[in-house]
Structure 1
């Protein structure tokens, strides 16, 4: 990158530009001018592509955190989106929030991060999703530039890869019950009593009532973290030990 004027007190705030949609208009402005924009609430800067014959698969995921559909461009991005949706520290998520523009010597470069996340304490976080073995030289350069831009803006930057497969399989299952319609308070109250101490999953469900009524509520409480189990050790099954979390 060159040596831009210190218009915003940090050269990076002038060196990087963001290209994004807001209020039905497209904007391209220096990072120092737009860093406070609510990027967790804007439309994607580019369309999601569905291409026949490729391994990746784009789609839309209903995100309970955002109360809206959020796009993804691969199964890996979808998995990471599910994990962010379950994270109690995340209060806003948008996909493909902006194009980040910069110059690498004479070359003009740009990169669209996968997600912008707003955290409960107000901080912003930019997330790129790429498996470790898929980070080539060009991607590494883009991630490094994005990290520099985020540091200048006061945002976090993380590049995440493939999650633990057992944990991810369990969370995918729980995500089926993420919507609030799965929460029935009388059943939830019974489950909290039953699992006050660790109990095998099916034993606790039978004690709480009819399993067809109880299981969706149980899985919603586990998605929400009110009830817990060892999601990393093995796939959930009838004998998985479930307990009430003490600290929320």
Structure 2
């Protein structure tokens, strides 16, 4: 292991390429390498390095989210992680996402080896990468802060964006959670989708535009799917309602 430099919170980062990562490839092969040698690994395709247990009396809710972006299930270990995974799935810049993508290993100035598995690794369409940890601010203990600082330093070393995120915006999350109910491609129904794009070519109230196309019972699921896919646009900072102004996205 190479020489270390001190980081905020008592963590340590390498002067050279001292960070190591352990990961499991998409075909189940376990590997470990220096981060600077493995940075080009498609971690968005790697298997989780930890399991997502579910047992009676556990404090956190674990589960799997069906990701429209990934086309499969992605694990989470809390409602907070689920909400941020949902927002990554909704983000049009993200083209792939994985959970618990790798173990990061480093050595503290005291000579102790530490490890941390970030919550998510997301790949954007421009090729850039985002590493995400989810933890409410009031629940970050000094040892956790040191791990997050080390992870940020590791990401900086290889040009990844690092995000330590807490509680989500309640209204936006509620809106996206509603739209997520229509994220599956089965709601991309033609010619209804094309008719909705025409109906909202000029901004119009959500329900009025749906009724102009046909029976809202049949039309609204398609409309919500188009909002999820960003083919239609609406202000999600306020609760969705019949009068929400919707507009078509101009390519």
**Superposition TM-score, scaled by structure 2 size:** 0.91
In structure 2, distance between residues paired with 1:87 and 1:116: 14
Give CA-to-partner distance per residue, 1:106-153, whole Å, 9 cap, x none. 211110000011111111211111112222211111110001111112
Query: Residue in 2 aligned with 1:16?
Result: 19
Displacement of 1:19:
1.0
| Alpha-carbon spacing, 1:55–1:166, altered in 2? closer, same or farther (3 Å) | farther
Asked whether the 8 Å contact 1:72–1:78 carries over to 2, the reply is yes
* Range that drifts further, 14-23 or 218-227: 14-23
| Alpha-carbon spacing, 1:12–1:73, altered in 2? closer, same or farther (3 Å) | farther
Aligned partner (choices 116, 120, 126) of residue 121 of structure 1: 126
Displacement of 1:180:
1.1
Query: Residue in 2 aligned with 1:46?
Result: 50
Alignment coverage as a number of residue pairs: 241
In structure 2, distance between residues paired with 1:55 and 1:151: 33
| Alpha-carbon spacing, 1:13–1:33, altered in 2? closer, same or farther (3 Å) | farther
In structure 1, distance between residues paired with 2:237 and 2:79: 20
* Range that drifts further, 237-246 or 202-211: 237-246
Displacement of 1:54:
3.7
- Residue 177 of structure 1 aligns to a residue whose secondary structure is coil
In structure 2, distance between residues paired with 1:232 and 1:100: 36
Aligned partner (choices 71, 77, 82) of residue 81 of structure 2: 77
Query: Residue in 1 aligned with 2:9?
Result: none
Query: Residue in 1 aligned with 2:60?
Result: 56
In structure 2, distance between residues paired with 1:201 and 1:47: 42
Residue 189 in structure 1 maps to residue 194 in structure 2: yes
Asked whether the 8 Å contact 1:90–1:120 carries over to 2, the reply is yes
Aligned partner (choices 226, 231, 235) of residue 236 of structure 2: 231
Aligned partner (choices 24, 28, 33) of residue 32 of structure 2: 28
Asked whether the 8 Å contact 1:13–1:30 carries over to 2, the reply is no
Query: Residue in 2 aligned with 1:7?
Result: none
Aligned partner (choices 162, 170, 174) of residue 167 of structure 2: 162
In structure 1, distance between residues paired with 2:54 and 2:87: 23
Displacement of 1:2:
5.8
In structure 2, distance between residues paired with 1:243 and 1:173: 18
Give CA-to-partner distance per residue, 1:59-96, whole Å, 9 cap, x none. 00111111111000011111111111111111110000
Residue 101 in structure 1 maps to residue 99 in structure 2: no
Asked whether the 8 Å contact 1:13–1:31 carries over to 2, the reply is no
Give CA-to-partner distance per residue, 1:23-46, whole Å, 9 cap, x none. 322112111221111100010001
Asked whether the 8 Å contact 1:12–1:152 carries over to 2, the reply is no
In structure 2, distance between residues paired with 1:204 and 1:118: 35
Asked whether the 8 Å contact 1:99–1:111 carries over to 2, the reply is yes
* Range that drifts further, 88-97 or 13-22: 13-22
**Superposition TM-score, scaled by structure 1 size:** 0.92
Residue 3 in structure 1 maps to residue 17 in structure 2: no
